[in-house]
Structure 1
Amino acid sequence: MFAFLGNRKPFSQLSEKEILALAISSEEDDARIYASYAERLRHDFPATAAMFDDMVTEEDGHRRSLIADFERRFGNTIPLIRREHVAGYYSRRPIWLVENLGVDRIRQEAERMEDDARRFYTAAAGRASDAGTRKLLGDLALQEGGHLDRVAASEATHLTQDARQDEDERARRQTLLTWVQPGLAGLMDGSVSTLAPIFATAFATQDPGTTFAVGLAASVGAGISMGFTEAIHDDGVISGRGSPIKRGIASGSMTALGGLGHALPYLIPYFWTATAVAFVVVFIELWAIAWIQNRFMETPFLRSVTQVVLGGALVLAAGILIGSG
């Protein structure tokens, strides 16, 4: 690792030839990144994709200007210098870490990229001795600084109010399908299905330690099962529900959390105190699920209460009766 860092040349030691070569490769990379964003968003968010198409065109214009200036000063052979070759130079996040995020997050990443480029051109212009190069780099710094205004203008052109509302609705729906719906299903399963074994064990043994061990095992086991089931049964291609890995994480983690909520009170060494706290936690969990259903899934609140609270109460009573018998 340290050998790799030692092979990187500090930005302050780059020659003007190397600075121009670095600027050219950076513009090429940014154009490819914006093109990838456009391709990723074109189906669901066509207006934002058109905005990124405009940004690709502008980056290509910057690249051509830089190549022309390089050829004027240093000839036709441009050395390959990339961001990763320069110590202290800004980096770009891997495309796969960003392109699967929401459309708003991708727009924010584009703004960060433009600000990074502006700061680079400002520093590079200060290093240039040739008047033409200094002017070009200074102009590019101003263009990158004003790019956010042009992005806003491009948004106004492509992202009309109706288009933005449509894209925002698509993004909200995707979030619901990928995160909220699987997470809610997991929370319901973990909160309700573990009630019977945990409280049956509690009332059968009246031993907080044993009850916690059973609750922990039931919660973790249910979380693993639900996570794998969600991830495996639907790859999201046809259903449009998004990444199976994300859905599996949402479902599995919320399932485990739902069970652990009323298992953790049994870390308290006094049985009746722990049980009283667990009852309170169960009450909060069930009402929270009903609220989430109403808030995000638009399920009528009375129906949510009937389905979740009444169903959970019946499972809880069954566990207590079985354990007491």
Structure 2
Amino acid sequence: MLSRFALPGFSRKRRFDDLSEQEILALAISSEEEDGQIYRAYAEKLEPTYPQSAAVFRGMAATEDEHRRRLIDMYKRRFGDFVVPMRREHVSGYITRNPVWLVENLGLDRVREEAEDMERQANAFYLAAAQRTTDADTRKLLGDLAAAEAGHQREAQALTDTHLGSGEREAEDASARRQFILTWVQPGLAGLMDGSVSTLAPIFATAFATQNPWTTFLVGLSASVGAGISMGFTEAAHDDGKVSGRGSPWKRGFASGIMTTIGGLGHALPYLIPHFWTATAIALVVVFVELWAIVWIQNRFMETPFFRAALQVVLGGALVLAAGVLIGGA
């Protein structure tokens, strides 16, 4: 029974230093195969929106295939036709790859960065492994693998220059930025504005009507959470993004709901302080920061002229705040 299970606290992974040259070569073959599959998955994901970048990843997958074929030829010459089963998850401390599903939804730049890291990590690993071994043949093998990985980086750059020249990369970057704004920034900004401005009146009306910090906090908490749920579901339900191109409704709903809640909680949390006037002073400072943050986001991402954004947001927020104070103090 014990042979079938790992003892608690002990890993069943092999140490790299304990691998034979045959196992190292088999590990390199499986690694090249997996990396090629990852690049093809990236290409398939990017093809509808970023065809030029998809071409880059298809070229990188073809390069991985060629290196895998060369490694298999070397393996067959030295060890025969049977390739021992050895994968990166079998080796302790070996380089790992993020799951494709974890990276592919994070945008074009993130996928590019992941590809660069894949090649860089493999190169660094083989160089470090070559320095630690004392066997001449193993050292040469690891050195050859490190050189191959360094060559991958140069080839990747050459493929990028070929497929993403003449403004194609700039066009794809602009498209990616636009998608980021439509999916995350725009609904998040709408939520932040709603949460920051719409909750001002009920929170400060309660504050000045009761002068009870705890009651004010409970009203602010309920208003913020309620507004966040409402905004999130409204954003997710009214547009599936297929025609408008605004992206996943769940992403937009999440951004809108979370930012709405944060916007309201910003000036509700100070009322956890038991002293009313101290809490109110801090809440007013938070309101000032929130409104100017909204102005900056509008100017930075939505390209709204700064003074127009300031007039709309700060003036509107001040009027709502004044209404709450007047109603509460009546």
Q: TM-score, normalised by structure 1?
A: 0.90
Equivalent of residue 60 in structure 1, options 58, 65, 73 = 65
Larger mean CA deviation between 73-82 and 181-190 belongs to: 73-82
Amino acid of the structure 1 residue aligned with 2:176 = A
Aligned equivalents of 1:2, 1:260: Cα separation in 2: 48
Q: CA deviation at 1:4?
A: 9.1
Question: Is 1:269 the equivalent of 2:268?
Answer: no
Aligned equivalents of 1:260, 1:40: Cα separation in 2: 38
Larger mean CA deviation between 231-240 and 160-169 belongs to: 231-240
Cα gap change, 1:275/1:78 in structure 2, threshold over 3 Å: closer, same or farther?
same
Corresponding residue for residue 44 of structure 1: 49
Corresponding residue for residue 158 of structure 1: 163
Equivalent of residue 284 in structure 1, options 289, 293, 302 = 289
Aligned equivalents of 2:171, 2:7: Cα separation in 1: 49
Unaligned runs of 5+ in 1: none
Question: Is 1:225 the equivalent of 2:230?
Answer: yes
Question: Is 1:211 the equivalent of 2:226?
Answer: no
* Equivalent position SS for 2:254: helix
Amino acid of the structure 2 residue aligned with 1:196 = A
Equivalent of residue 7 in structure 1, options 12, 19, 27 = 12
Aligned equivalents of 1:194, 1:271: Cα separation in 2: 18
- Retained in 1: the 8 A contact 2:130–2:140? no
- Retained in 2: the 8 A contact 1:183–1:247? yes
What is the 5 A alignment of 1:182-193? Answer: 182-193=187-198
Aligned equivalents of 2:112, 2:105: Cα separation in 1: 12
Aligned equivalents of 1:239, 1:125: Cα separation in 2: 55
Equivalent of residue 108 in structure 2, options 95, 103, 109 = 103
Q: RMSD value over aligned CA atoms? A: 2.5
Larger mean CA deviation between 260-269 and 192-201 belongs to: 260-269
Q: TM-score, normalised by structure 2?
A: 0.88
Aligned equivalents of 1:302, 1:321: Cα separation in 2: 27
Corresponding residue for residue 119 of structure 1: 124
Equivalent of residue 299 in structure 2, options 294, 303, 312 = 294
Amino acid of the structure 2 residue aligned with 1:229 = T
Cα gap change, 1:28/1:255 in structure 2, threshold over 3 Å: closer, same or farther?
same
* Equivalent position SS for 1:89: coil
Corresponding residue for residue 80 of structure 2: 75
Aligned equivalents of 1:113, 1:128: Cα separation in 2: 27
Aligned equivalents of 1:65, 1:128: Cα separation in 2: 25
Aligned equivalents of 2:302, 2:251: Cα separation in 1: 19
Aligned equivalents of 1:20, 1:203: Cα separation in 2: 74
Corresponding residue for residue 181 of structure 1: 186
Count how many residue pairs are aligned between Structure 1 and Structure 2.
324
Q: CA deviation at 1:232?
A: 4.0
Q: CA deviation at 1:114?
A: 0.8
Deviations 1:225-275 (A, max 9, x none): 323333344443333223334323322221111111211222333323332
Q: CA deviation at 1:130?
A: 8.8
Aligned equivalents of 2:23, 2:202: Cα separation in 1: 68
Corresponding residue for residue 3 of structure 2: none
Cα gap change, 1:318/1:85 in structure 2, threshold over 3 Å: closer, same or farther?
same
- Retained in 2: the 8 A contact 1:209–1:269? yes
Larger mean CA deviation between 222-231 and 73-82 belongs to: 222-231
Aligned equivalents of 2:194, 2:133: Cα separation in 1: 62
- Retained in 1: the 8 A contact 2:63–2:152? no
* Equivalent position SS for 1:146: helix
Aligned equivalents of 2:59, 2:135: Cα separation in 1: 32
Equivalent of residue 200 in structure 2, options 195, 210, 213 = 195
Aligned equivalents of 2:105, 2:139: Cα separation in 1: 38
Question: Is 1:324 the equivalent of 2:329?
Answer: yes
Corresponding residue for residue 23 of structure 2: 18
